[in-house]
Structure 1
Amino acid sequence: MNFRKPANSLVVRLLVMGLLMAIVGTATSYIQLSRFLREDLTQSVAVQQTALAAYVARDVDNYLGERLSFLERLAATLPPERLAQPERLRAWLQERSTLSPVFPLGLKVADATGKRLDGDGQLVTDGSEYMAAREGRSALGRPQAAPSGHSVLPMAVPVRNAAGQVTALLLGTADLSADGLLDHLQRGRVGQDGGILVVSPRDRIFVASTDVSMSLTPTPPEGVNLLHDRAMTGFRGSGTTRNAKGIDEISAIASVPNSGWFVVARVPVAQALAPVGRMQTFILQQRAPAVISVLVVIGLIMAWLLRPLLRAADQADRMTRGELALAPLRVVRNDEIGHLTQAFNRLLAKLLDNQQALAHLAHHDTLTDLPNRKLLDERLQQALLRARRHAHQVAVLYLDLDGFKTLNDTFGHEAGDKALREIAHRLQALVRQTDTVARIGGDEFVLLAADFAEAPEQGALTLAQRCIDAIAQPLQLAHSETVIGVSIGIALGNGNETPQDLLAAADKAMYRAKQSGRSSYAMTPASS
């Protein structure tokens, strides 16, 4: 069966439905798996970044604590008398620096005014580390760039006398670049663009960074990086943020206690969640062939399942166009399609029965079940053709009941119908199977006879008399007997006449018989 519109095809609809279900399923899996993996990876990366930030923060804190502790130990062991002896003080400091070279840029001792006690010179006294040490606290200064290009960090601790009073300041400058701290940070890269930041919130600068160009540069202003703003006010933890370059990052923040700094371990979201993109690509690449394969399998299965239905529909369609005769369809399988085919066959059988019944009604009288005028004309036409072919004659007897109207008025229509059925039965009993008895009107009957064993005229007259005798028998109607007669007109034909001519001739003869008296017959040639 051919469909002008593919949308009218059940197979196409099922395939489209399967495709839509596959697309919806794939989209649902795509969205749910992507969301789950994104959240899971974000959490995992945040945990990793937190661990990395804490590790780097401890490393930096140990680095700073070691140097501050070294300065504090020197300050505690510095002989007081050396403060007034510059040369001996300088020799003492040089000896300690050689034994523990944690300050390769050297050590200095100055008084509260910034005057150096280990030699000539005046120190700058506005540094935060200098002012804190003068107040009796060990402190770090502001990281800065040295003339050599290295990043350096000044430190200062107080020197106290026996009474605990600050008598001098011990200063040292750590070379962050030479000590390898920055190299260590630069190796702490995560992904292609992730890395480590060491931030001094007091000085609002990046102390160190995996990206060397960011070292010793100012931190971004407020509102640029919201997570950075929170870290500057004391937040420690992890989160997702957008940096000053507009890149989304997963960042973790840990404190460096000895300095008040904090360490940021960061990685771009796009790189951290790269497995999500690969998973999405995998889903699309793997699902597409799978969906196509499933649709092909579904299409083949549906074609196999619907093949009997399509074949049955095609045969039924050809039957409706008259290309095939009406016949039951073959039941292939005992399933829903088989049930539908069986139902169609039952409907077809009922239709054929109805057609046969309609055909019978179209050619037979409803009261007596005798052939009507239409069937009589067909049989008369065939009889005339045979008569002309075989040189025979055909006899037509036109019967009209005498006194039927009086019977009908006296006993009623039901009795009249009963009388007609009884007369039809009697007439059928008189003729041969090759002859025809037809009812063509209310009380009018026609007998068609051919192939007489004796002369046609004599045979027709004998048959007419037998009809008169049979009808003359009493009829049992309404618990009483009644008798009616019949007038018969006879016409003979040799095949050169038309059915209408022969019936008209027999009708004329019947009227002559009525005029001559009831229960009689008259014969007229067809040509008269």
Structure 2
Amino acid sequence: MRQLTLSLITLLIALAGAGQIVIATLHRSMQETIGEDMAVLVQSHAAALDQQIERTRQILQGIADNAPERAFENPDQAQAYLTHYAPLLALFDLGLYMANPDEIILGAQLRDMQQARKRIGGKTSASDLNWRAREQRRTLISQPYASPSCDGCPAIAMVTPVFHADGRFLGYVAGALRLDGENMLAAINDVRVGKTGYLYLITRERTMIMHPDPRRIMKPATRPGQNQLLDKAITEGFEGHGQTINSLGVPMILGVHYLKSTGWLLAANYPLADAEAPFEVVKTRTYLLLAVIGILMAAALGLIFRRKRHTTAGSL
């Protein structure tokens, strides 16, 4: 009897140890798989956004390249030229503009042309961006800003400097577009990670550009120290995935990737509890399976010992 008890204890310990190893291995494998999927998700969406921003930049560059020289001197010609591009307001939904070297707006194409006429003759509001674009001789994208044209919605401006073939600076062509509309971020705005996970987009300065909660847009995303993995991405340029605690104190699996075109950071949040819910089911079933195996093996071991005992007694 003592030998049977020791055998059963040894068997149960071995099963428990094997079960822990199997469950721990499954847990690590599942976490790594989810993390890698998160990294691929943000990387692919970041690449798609980069492509879309580049296409938008090329469209604005095309408008600038085809602009007649006199349009940067004559408001009527500037307005007539921009009128041809009215269909592009589906993309540049906050307007297209032409300005002379002194940053005086000569032409404006808006959905509300009454407002457009009011802008003509005024000065552009992006002097620093204009200066940098002129110095670098290329299209530049502004930092996101709260646009008064759409009650504070997140927006960006693109500015293209225009030069004559002989090198003379002619002026600027600019386009403005909202980030919460049906153009730039529409493709990722409704993406969900699992049941309750989501994507969000922030600047290096921690300004929230896109988030499922509209109350957080154009406000600080986090303070330093609130989300260590996000801090690492912002301060060290980290890209990839890992576990973290978000600014609300919720454990998350976080995937992060930078947009090459703007330097913005696209992130995917997946609540750890939701991510591991399938694993909890697997773990419970594994324990049940091991319990059944343990019971069957104990019964088999008991039967073997009883037969052995009867055989020994019969031989006496």
What TM-score results when the alignment is normalised by the length of structure 2? 0.83
**Aligned residues of 2:38 and 2:254 also touching (Cα < 8 A):** yes
Displacement, 1:86? 0.9
SS at match of 1:332: helix
How many pairs were matched up? 300
Q: Does 1:102 align with 2:91?
A: yes
SS in 1 for 2:305: helix
CA, structure 1 residues 308+101, in 2 after alignment: closer, same or farther (shift >3 Å)? closer
CA distance in 1, matches of 2:89, 2:186: 21
Q: Does 1:295 align with 2:298?
A: yes
Shift of 1:16: 4.1
Paired residue secondary structure (2:106): coil
1:332 aligned residue: 314
Q: Is the 8 A contact 1:252 1:265 kept in 2?
A: yes
1:301-312 superposed matches below 5 A? 301-307=304-310
Q: 1:194 to 1:173 in 2, by over 3 A?
A: same
Task: Compare 294-303 and 82-91 and name the one that shifted more.
Answer: 294-303
Question: Of the two, which has the highest radius of gyration?
Answer: 1
Q: CA 1:283–1:124 in structure 2 vs 1: closer, same or farther (change >3 Å)?
A: same
Pairing 1:195–2:198 present: yes
Distance of aligned partners of 1:83 and 1:308 in 2 relative to their CA distance in 1, 3 Å threshold? closer
Identity of aligned residues (%): 24
How many angstroms does 1:37 deviate by? 1.5
Instruction: Give the SS at the match of 1:220.
Output: coil
Give the letter for the 2:86 counterpart.
S
Partner residue, 1:129: 129
**Matched residue, 1:222:** 224
Q: Report Cα offsets for 1:424-450 as digits up to 9, x if no partner.
A: xxxxxxxxxxxxxxxxxxxxxxxxxxx
Counterpart contact for 1:129–1:138, Cα < 8 Å: no
Mapped to 1, the partners of 2:146 and 2:293 lie a distance apart of 61
User: Greater CA deviation, 241-250 or 274-283?
Assistant: 241-250
* SS state at 1:263 partner: strand
After superposition, give the CA deviation of every residue in 1:35-89 in whole Å (9 maximum; x if it has no partner). 2122222222222222211211111111211111111121121111112221221
**What SS class does the counterpart of residue 255 from structure 2 fall into?**
strand
Q: Is 1:93 matched with 2:75?
A: no
Q: Match of 2:156, SS? A: strand
Separation in structure 2 between the aligned mates of residue 70 and residue 243 of structure 1, nearest angstrom? 38
Residue correspondence of structure 1 range 78-477 to structure 2 within 5 A: 78-98=67-87, 101-118=90-107, 119-125=120-126, 129-135=129-135, 136-146=137-147, 147-148=150-151, 150-201=153-204, 203-232=205-234, 233-307=236-310, 332-333=314-315, 338=316
Partner amino acid, structure 2, of 1:272: A
In the alignment, residue 88 of structure 1 is paired with which amino acid? Answer: Q
> Which deviations, in whole Å up to 9, do the C-alpha atoms of 1:148-201 show, x marking residues without a partner?
464322221112223324332222111223224444213321112322222221
Structure 1 residues 248, 46: CA separation in 2 closer, same or farther (over 3 Å shift)? same
1:23 aligned to which of 12, 17, 31 = 12
Match of 1:33 in 2: 22
Distance 1:55 1:26, change over 3 A: same
One-letter amino acid matched to 2:248: K
Give the direction of change, closer, same or farther, for the CA distance of 1:271–1:297 in structure 2 (3 Å limit).
Answer: same
Unpaired runs of 5+ residues, structure 2, are 108-119
1:171–1:294 CA distance, 2 compared to 1 (3 A): same
Alpha-carbon offset, residue 14 of structure 1: 4.6
The alignment status of 1:61 with 2:50, answered yes or no, reads: yes
CA RMSD of aligned residues (A): 2.7
- Aligned equivalents of 1:105 and 1:304: distance in 2? 89
With 114-123 and 145-154 compared, the bigger mean Cα shift is at 145-154
1: distance between equivalents of 2:230 and 2:277? 24
Q: Which ranges in structure 1 are unaligned for 5 or more consecutive residues?
A: 1-9, 310-330, 339-528
